Amino acid sequence: MPSTSTKKSVLQYVGLALFAIALLIFTFMLSLDNYQFNAEDLVANLAKDDAPEVGQMHQEALRNAAEKYGLFEETYTTTFSAQKALKQVFYQASADVDATLAETGIPEGKEKWEVELPKWQFKSQLTGWMQNAASGPVSNNPLLFFFLTIGLAALGGLLYIIPKFQTQPGIKHNHIYHSQLTKGLDLGWRSFFLAATTLGILVYGFYYMDDKWIWPAATGLVAAIIIGLVLFAQHSFGRDVRDAGPEGLSSYLGIFAGLYFMGFYVLLYWASQHVVGWVAMVSPISEGIYQAVSGNDSGGEASQWFLYGLMYTTIMIVMGVRMISKYRHNKYQVIRTISVMFFQLSFAFMIPEVLLALNKGWYGDKATLPYQDLKSIWPLDYDFFFDWSIKGFVDNPGSLGVFIICWGIFLVIVGVPLMVHLVGKRWYCSWVCGCGGLAETMGDPWRQLSDKSVRAWKFERIIVNGVLVFATLMTAATIYSFLPNNDYWFTRSTFLIVFTVLLLIGIGFTVFSYLKSKMEISRLGISLAVGVGVAIIALNLWTFTMGSETYLFGNTGAVQKWYGFLIGAGFAGVVGTGFYPLMGNRVWCRFGCPLAAYLGLVQRFQSRFRITTNGGQCISCGNCSTYCEMGIDVRAYAMKGQDIVRSSCVGCGVCAAVCPRGVLRLENGSADIGDRAVAERNIHIEDMSVEDNWTERPLAISEEGGISIF
Amino acid sequence: MHVAIIGNGIAGVTAARYLRKLDSAVRITIISAETDFFFSRTALMYVYMGHQRMEDLMPYEPYFWEKNRIDLKRAYVERVLTGEKKLQLGDGTTMAYDKLILATGSTWNKFGWPGEDLERVRGMVSAQDLEYLEDHTDKIQQAVVVGGGLIGIELAEMLHSRQIPVKLLVREDSYWSNALPPEESRMVSRHIKSHHIDLRHNTELDEIIDDGSGAAGSIRTKDGETIEAQFVGLTAGVHPNINFLRDAEGLELGKGIKVNTYLQTSVPDVYAIGDCAELREPRKDRRAIEAIWYTGQMMGETVAYNVLGRKAEYDPGVWFNSAKFIDIEYQVYGEVPAHGRDGLSSLYWEHRDGEKAVRINYEASTGQIRGFNLMGIRYRHEVCEKWILDGKHVEEVLQELGMANFDPEFYEQYEHAVVALYNQQTGKNLTLKKKRGLNAALRYLGFGKKASRAFVKAE
């Protein structure tokens, strides 16, 4: 019978079934354990070394409140009911402490905040309490559940993937747009899911920021400005775009996958008290690694971040095998995939775990080695310059911490621009980076769903560069706030000077390239870039002359917290991965990653990397554009015989791989890059009037984004 | 001035783009009965196979046309009234034009086979053909594709992707042997069979047999074999789509619409381009009708100049073409006749896996390079073209051959093996001096010093 799915062997169906079973167990195991609290664990972390009597008062209040509500007698069957009971107890205890303080008065020489029992304590203690209270099948047999979930899923995945090596090598795209998992959504439904998710994150952000509405409100305002800019200032409103989504919600498996990913990230980042079962299940592995490396007999319990790292790595390896099977005719793809798998397994996962295990003690004791992914670069690694991070590095007795600081700064200022100049940003984005690695492996089935419209491109440019500006300002505020005013060689003034000089170099390069290049560079873009640069320099001068205590943001802690919530967790995680099946596998890399924006600026203005097109061979089939995960309309260039120099291109090489006529090639070479990236090269007639149009910088570009117009 | 263009394929759309590029005042209307918007015809197969959606085949976003003031009219032109300069449209209205460009493309051949007008007997050229196939796919248990050309193999691959057993009937004793030299032709035949498509050489269709409902149920070959087939794909070539022009006054038709080198027809102010145009005086070694994407594009560009009164001869330059036979990519540059030519030497290297090959043709007497045929290996169009135009000596070319390689990074380079083969055959001792790389190629092409167009002009 005719079929709109690929042919699968029995083994592959078995693999799919095992994967489905594993997913079911993984989901429902969270409801298997019971939770029973005892007084000892409940109050353990409330002791205060510096003020024992305050700690005792808190412990006393909490214990009394727990007894009052019968917390210790009850067995809770879900994390939700347990959380509810704990909350009631804690809030009662907090109120009791307040009442006691009102009665006895605040002790001599103390501030109120030092002696009260604050509500934020509840959030930070919750997951620990839940972990200690859990008992039942998962807690009793963690390894069994590990094998039944992650183990079984990996096995099922491999059973499904390995037989693919027996098929003939070549492009494997049959039925991607027939599959309910990979066909995607139309513009309307995509917009709906995006708007709903964004609103959800902003509303939750209000709660997350302890009811400070200013942060979500400011973010909403910025979003409105961006939408206004794209739709009205850049004339996207009312333009008929090429939208080709399927009917309604026929991509139901994709939607389910997306919602599942989003749910996973929400629990991981913001509600880890509900996933203590998952964490318990991987804890023996974490302890095994820790104890084997450190030689200790105990310690090394997993946190949710270990769970995340382990799953991330497992998924990347299994799906990396899939990527290799799919593109095994293409050596570039094979080597590149092995590279991201290697960097994830070693640099992102194992090396930091080993560094941590080599510390003298577990949490609490002063670390001798920092937990750091050496390939993670600011501003993607946005907390690299946070005060606690820098202190962690500097306070190390050994020299490794200082090395890591120097290495991090070297990468940002020298390593990144130099490598991008030589080979393009691909060296990082599709060869090394963990986010890119997940996109290229787990995300590959959805790479075709990126929006290729010029409108999407306009959003992309403003948002991704906007995040870069936000990350820069947040980091500058952070560094400024913890630097001393004097008594050290590197002071706030020195920092402002260095920062300003770096900005001036950047602006200089940009303006120079703009004037020199014949390439189409948006006038609006260049004005915005220089404008923002100049504004920051003005801010630096103002801060410098006023000798201000803070840089731009009054409260550095709050801006760090909001950045971590909105960009670090919401954008990179919930939307970045959750939207793989809805908007393609590079949503974060394309629209959100500040490092990608930085790499992209260098790639656009100062790189030898480009995608060359092969003469007049393009047949406009659109495979290159369709399978571009970054939403670049590759065909628009290829059919004009134009070399492609785009800031967003991560150099995955799939456009060149899927081209049926051998038109595209990723190349490094500086010769004639400005000439070959000009407008139309696919020309046969000698005619000066057309020639003239080439040298003239097209004015329509700021409006048109350099695409599709003559 | 109002220029009407009939047909929104690559030829008609390129003409419209260049008209606008050269003249901002001219009024342009593209008329098509097939689709609202221009799409890439060569990519229709990818929609059926689920690689892309129909909209992904559209190179321009819908607002492009309005922005560039190119009017699109969805209508069928029933008659061209050359005397009155009017088009009679299917909805009963007429449209006046000052100049007319005919770019109506081609349609698939029928050769008078009995049963060729039954249901589920169809070619694969238009959006409607694709729609028809999609609508009837669920009734197809087995299929037969007749004709071993570029569309035949695509249609076979399409049906195969839906897990329909396909038999591909080829009249000759290997695939597309009237265009490919024997070694390449046999390579493709092997490749087709290895992909479980039942390729039948030396097999011709005799008749298509009704299954009783007015649709195809089986076919009979000239050898008398009966093959069950609920779908019969007719892919034995295409012909110009010009039937509606039969009564156009003064318009001289042959197999196609006769045009001179300025792409003018026998009627003033009427031009013809693309698959439907038949050149009165084709250039040496070229055919009068070349139904390929690239020539349609070149004609579209050329005709725009002529319509605007700026005389430009149609010069298709050095022959090139490309295709993909299931997973083997194919590129040809210059002169590569299927059956060779007196005085033309051919260096043919084939990889031991039997799926990659390089053929280099050159004059036996002078050593001048004439053509390249590539199977499973990509070469740079511009470099090959310039070598051919410059008439480089084959030995010079061989020593620099790496410069032409356009395969992705990390791919093995076989140029040394090609040179070694030449040495072995001639007793020479050449060495490969250039490896794959962009800068060397660009230096050779001399960009920077002159206009960097994608097509090289002879010096």
Give A548-569 pLDDT, tens digit per residue. 888 988 888 899 999 999 999 9
At B110, list the tokens: 């029928």
| Distance of alpha carbon A602 from alpha carbon A198, whole angstroms | 30
By the 8 A CB rule, do A533 and A503 touch?
yes
Contact yes or no for A2 and B68 at CB 8 A: no
**DSSP structure string for A329-380:** T-HHHHHHHHHHHHHIIIIIIIHHHHHHHTSSSSTTSPPSS----TT--TTT
The helix (run of H) or strand (run of E) holding residue A196 is helix A187-208
Q: Return the minimum-mean-pLDDT range out of A626-635, A689-698, B17-26, B413-422.
A: A689-698
3-state secondary structure (DSSP) of residue A260 = helix
Return the closest-CA partner of residue B35 out of B12, B16, B8, B11.
B8
The residues, ordered by sequence, that sit 6+ positions from A653 with a Cβ below 8 Å of its Cβ are: A330, A332, A333, A336, A426, A430, A666, B408, B409
Chain B neighbors of A670, CB-CB under 8 A: 439
- Tell which wins on pLDDT, A50 or A188: A188
By the 8 A CB rule, do A631 and A648 touch?
yes
By the 8 A CB rule, do A613 and A308 touch?
no
User: Nearest-CA distance from A325 to chain B in Å?
Assistant: 15
pTM: 0.93
| Distance of alpha carbon B359 from alpha carbon B347, whole angstroms | 6
By the 8 A CB rule, do B256 and B240 touch?
yes
Judged against a pLDDT cut of 60, whether residue A450 lies above it is answered with: yes
User: Nearest-CA distance from A172 to chain B in Å?
Assistant: 9
By the 8 A CB rule, do A311 and A150 touch?
yes
Strand partners, B369: B362
The amino acid that residue A207 corresponds to is: Y
| Distance of alpha carbon A85 from alpha carbon A1, whole angstroms | 58
Partner A contacted by B140 (CB < 8 A): yes
pLDDT (mean) for A446-475: 94
| Distance of alpha carbon B222 from alpha carbon B187, whole angstroms | 26
Residue A664 φ then ψ, to 5°:
-115, 145
Return the closest-CA partner of residue B10 out of B59, B67, B76, B55.
B59
Partner A contacted by B60 (CB < 8 A): yes
Chain B neighbors of A171, CB-CB under 8 A: 51, 327
User: Nearest-CA distance from B200 to chain A in Å?
Assistant: 21
The pLDDT value given to residue A49: 80
Measured in whole angstroms, the distance separating CA B206 from the mean position of its chain's CA atoms is 28
Q: What is the DSSP letter of B215?
A: B
| Distance of alpha carbon A602 from alpha carbon A416, whole angstroms | 9
Judged against a pLDDT cut of 80, whether residue A365 lies above it is answered with: no
Cβ-in-10-Å burial (0-12, 13-18, 19+) of A296 comes to middle
pLDDT band at A661 (very low <50, low <70, confident <90, very high): very high
| Distance of alpha carbon B21 from alpha carbon B13, whole angstroms | 12
| Distance of alpha carbon B177 from alpha carbon A96, whole angstroms | 93
| Distance of alpha carbon A190 from alpha carbon A581, whole angstroms | 10
The pLDDT value given to residue A389: 85
| Distance of alpha carbon A605 from alpha carbon A27, whole angstroms | 47
At A687, list the tokens: 């005619």
Tell me the C-alpha to C-alpha distance, in Å, between residue A682 and each of A174, A643, B45.
31, 11, 25
Of A171, A662, A672, the CB nearest to B322: A662
A379: preceding bond cis by omega (within 30 degrees):
yes
| Strands B143-146, B231-234: pairing kind | parallel
pLDDT (mean) for A611-619: 92
The pLDDT value given to residue B453: 61
ipTM: 0.95
Tell me the C-alpha to C-alpha distance, in Å, between residue B16 and each of A186, A342, B219, B308.
30, 51, 44, 12
At B89, list the tokens: 């449209």
By the 8 A CB rule, do B275 and B298 touch?
no
Neighbours of A51 (CB within 10 A): 15
Chain B neighbors of A710, CB-CB under 8 A: 17, 20-21, 68
3-state secondary structure (DSSP) of residue B344 = strand
Return the closest-CA partner of residue A614 out of A575, A580, A661, A555.
A661
Partner A contacted by B131 (CB < 8 A): no
Chain B neighbors of A622, CB-CB under 8 A: 40, 43, 46, 52, 56-59
Strand partners, A216: none
| Distance of alpha carbon A385 from alpha carbon A477, whole angstroms | 10
| Distance of alpha carbon A315 from alpha carbon A308, whole angstroms | 10
Burial B48-82 (b: 16+ CB within 10 A, else e): bbbbbbbbbbbbbbbbbbebbebebbeeebebbeb
Q: Which domains does chain B have, with CATH numbers?
A: 2-107+239-307 (3.50.50.60), 121-236 (3.50.50.60), 320-445 (3.30.390.30)
Contact yes or no for B51 and A454 at CB 8 A: no
Partner A contacted by B67 (CB < 8 A): yes
Residue B76 φ then ψ, to 5°:
-100, 125
Of A330, A639, A678, the CB nearest to B59: A639
3-state secondary structure (DSSP) of residue A674 = helix
The residues, ordered by sequence, that sit 6+ positions from B387 with a Cβ below 8 Å of its Cβ are: B369, B397, B404
Sheet with B121-122: list strands edge to edge: B121-122, B231-234, B143-146, B166-169, B198-200
Average pLDDT, chain A: 89
Give Dmax over CA atoms of chain A in angstroms: 95
| Distance of alpha carbon B14 from alpha carbon B20, whole angstroms | 10
Q: At what angle do helices A454-482 and A594-605 cross, to 10 degrees?
A: 110
At B109, list the tokens: 């051949």
Judged against a pLDDT cut of 70, whether residue A114 lies above it is answered with: yes
User: Nearest-CA distance from B58 to chain A in Å?
Assistant: 8
pLDDT band at A354 (very low <50, low <70, confident <90, very high): confident
| Strands B121-122, A134-135: pairing kind | unpaired
In chain A, where the domains are located: 34-135, 608-704
The pLDDT value given to residue A515: 80
Q: Return the minimum-mean-pLDDT range out of A193-197, A356-360, B43-47.
A: A356-360
CA angle A335, A664, A668 (to 5 degrees): 65
Measured in whole angstroms, the distance separating CA B319 from the mean position of its chain's CA atoms is 12
By the 8 A CB rule, do B44 and B131 touch?
no
| Distance of alpha carbon B47 from alpha carbon B56, whole angstroms | 9
Chain A neighbors of B442, CB-CB under 8 A: 669, 671-672, 676
Give residue B160's region: left, alpha or beta (phi > 0; psi -120 to 50): alpha
pLDDT (mean) for A452-481: 93
The pLDDT value given to residue A697: 31
Cβ-in-10-Å burial (0-12, 13-18, 19+) of A111 comes to exposed
Chain B residue closest in CA terms to A682: B454
Q: What is the pLDDT of residues A275-300, one digit of tens each?
A: 999 999 999 999 999 899 888 888 88
Q: Count the helix, strand and coil residues of chain A and give each as a percent rounded to the nearest 5.
A: 65, 0, 35
Residue A268 φ then ψ, to 5°:
-65, -45
The residues, ordered by sequence, that sit 6+ positions from B243 with a Cβ below 8 Å of its Cβ are: none
pLDDT band at A694 (very low <50, low <70, confident <90, very high): very low
Tell me the C-alpha to C-alpha distance, in Å, between residue A233 and each of A239, A459, A704.
13, 12, 12
pLDDT band at A700 (very low <50, low <70, confident <90, very high): very low
pLDDT (mean) for A122-127: 90
3-state secondary structure (DSSP) of residue A187 = helix
Provide the sign of the torsion angle of the four alpha carbons A181, A182, A188, A191, taken in this order: positive
CATH topology of domain A608-704: Alpha-Beta Plaits (3.30.70)
| Distance of alpha carbon A596 from alpha carbon A571, whole angstroms | 14
| Distance of alpha carbon B303 from alpha carbon B22, whole angstroms | 12
User: Nearest-CA distance from B437 to chain A in Å?
Assistant: 8
Provide the residue-wise pLDDT of chain B in tens; the chain has 459 residues. 999 999 999 999 999 999 998 999 999 999 999 999 999 999 999 999 999 999 999 999 999 999 899 999 999 999 999 999 999 999 999 999 999 999 999 999 999 999 999 999 999 999 999 999 999 999 999 999 999 899 999 999 999 999 999 999 999 999 999 999 999 999 999 999 999 999 999 999 999 999 999 999 999 999 999 999 999 999 999 999 999 999 999 999 999 999 999 999 999 999 999 999 999 999 988 999 999 999 999 999 999 999 999 999 999 999 999 999 999 999 999 999 999 999 999 999 999 999 999 999 999 999 999 999 999 999 999 999 999 999 999 999 999 999 999 999 999 999 999 999 999 999 999 999 989 989 899 888 876 655 556 665 544
Q: Which residue is associated with the tokens 């998924």?
A: A315
